[in-house]
Amino acid sequence: MSERFVAACVQMRSGRDPAANRDAAVAGLREAAAQGARYVQTPEMTSLVERSKERLFAVVTDDASDPTLAALRQTARETGTWVQVGSLAIRSGDKIANRAFLIGPDGAVVASYDKLHLFDVDLPSGESWRESSTYTGGGCAVVAETPLATFGLSICYDIRFPALYRALAEAGAEVLTGPACFTRQTGEAHWQVLQRARAIEAGAFMVSAAQGGLHEDGRETYGHSLIVDPWGRVLAEAGTEPGVILAEIDLSLVADAQARIPALRHARPFTVARIAARS
């Protein structure tokens, strides 16, 4: 296993046409591979950004029939790259799974992950989101050991749950991944600090491709795809426009950061005492 490789994030502005989104993802993957990337990540909801439940169910399929997954598997094989499809909307009974796929350079799917935490919030701007009405949450965290690195998979809103990333790091993840479709409002407030915090806490790289800009369904996403090193330094950051960012991943920095601040080894069990103090 080489300790160094180039990672890339493909930032997108996916709309309502899965075919157009698929073509954009393939083009971004090819551009990244041409620049030397051996691992390429696309954002959450690569193939379709759509708020309407009816429109979603009109086009989603199971993973065996999904044309975007098939196209990215083929492109991974042609370019010889590892590809993480940030997520696709995949039919799962009467709901939809928000599912990530890790694809090897032979085009085989080596791991998949269903987003654990669902975004059910009311924002001060008046935006209201109820992912649980359309999506089904996953129940299993995923660490994928590959010849390139050991990857810990997550998606978007997961970033607000630090226990997940600690568990991934304790299971050996060297590169944590957080592809996202972050709203502009929450992204401006929290996106970078959350990404850097998760990297620092785990002593691992954080690689997160994002959606950015105004989408056809009316939502506005923050963009700013990020690659962060285990010391919390930002190695590459996008703006809001679609494009590709790249950075070298030096896995020796993981061991270095974890040796300098061995927080993963210092955790201790504890209880919480709740005290009601009344004067």
Residue 129: which pLDDT band, with cuts at 50, 70 and 90?
Answer: low
Pair 152, 143: CB distance under 8 Å:
yes
Q: What is the residue-averaged pLDDT of the chain?
A: 94
Q: Is the pLDDT of residue 191 over 60?
A: yes
Q: How large a percentage of the chain has pLDDT more than 90?
A: 84
pLDDT at 64: 93
Would residue 44 show up in a list of annotated catalytic residues for this protein?
Answer: yes
CA distances from 195 to 137, 177, 203, 223 (A): 22, 10, 12, 13
Strands 4-11 vs 39-41: parallel, antiparallel or unpaired = parallel
Look at residue 16 and give its three-state secondary structure: coil
Q: Please pick, among 44, 50, 131, 201, the residue that the annotation labels catalytic.
A: 44
Dump pLDDT digits (tens) for 141-161.
Answer: 999 999 999 999 999 999 999
Residue 63 lies in a domain: yes
The answer to whether 155 and 135 have CB atoms below 8 angstroms apart is no
Residue 9 in domain: yes
Return d(Cα 165, Cα 205) in angstroms, integer.
11
Q: What is the Cα–Cα distance from 205 to 173, expressed in whole angstroms?
A: 9
Catalytic member of 131, 156, 174, 201: 156
| 53 annotated active-site | no
Distance, in Å, from the CA atom of 158 to the CA atom of 139, rounded to the nearest integer, reads: 12
Residue 266 lies in a domain: no
Q: Report pLDDT for 126.
A: 62
121 located within any domain: yes
Phi, psi of 41 (to 5 degrees): -120, 135
Asked whether residue 85 is assigned to any structural domain, the reply reads yes
User: Given a cut of 90, is residue 278 above it in pLDDT?
Assistant: no
112 domain-assigned: yes
Q: Which tokens hold the place of 265?
A: 């080894």
pLDDT(1) > 60: no
Q: Give me the pLDDT at residue 142, please.
A: 98
Owning domain of residue 13? 4-261
11 token code pair: 């930032």
| Count of Cβ atoms closer than 10 Å to residue 151 Cβ | 28
Query: Domain with 127 in it: what CATH number?
Result: 3.60.110.10
What average pLDDT score do residues 25-44 get?
98
208 inside domain: yes
Which one from 9, 50, 115, 131 is the annotated catalytic residue? 115
Q: How far apart are the first and last CA of the chain?
A: 63
The answer to whether residue 268 is domain-embedded is no
No. of H helices and E strands in the chain? 7, 17
pLDDT in tens, 54-91: 888 899 999 999 999 999 999 999 999 999 999 999 99
Task: Burial-class residue 276 by CB neighbours within 10 Å (0-12, 13-18, 19+).
Answer: exposed
Largest CA distance in the chain: 72
pTM of the full predicted structure? 0.94
Two tokens, residue 135: 């999506």
pLDDT for res 54: 86
Angle, to 10 degrees, between the axis of helix 67-79 and the axis of helix 18-34?
10
Question: Token pair for residue 140?
Answer: 């299993």
- The total of structural domains in the chain comes to 1
The Cα–Cα gap between 201 and 153 comes to: 16
- Residue-wise pLDDT for 89-116, tens only, equals 999 888 889 999 999 999 999 999 999 9
What is the dihedral sign for C-alpha 48, 120, 42, 97? negative
Segment 124-136 shows an average pLDDT of 71
The percentage of residues in the chain with a pLDDT greater than 70, rounded to a whole number, is 95
CA angle 155-160-165, nearest 5°? 70
- Residues 118-133, mean pLDDT to the nearest whole number: 68
Which pLDDT value is given to residue 125?
Answer: 65
Q: Is 31 a catalytic residue?
A: no
All residues at 6 or more sequence positions from 4 whose CB lies less than 8 Å from its CB, including other chains: 248, 249, 250, 251
Q: How confident is the model at residue 123 (pLDDT cuts 50, 70, 90)?
A: low
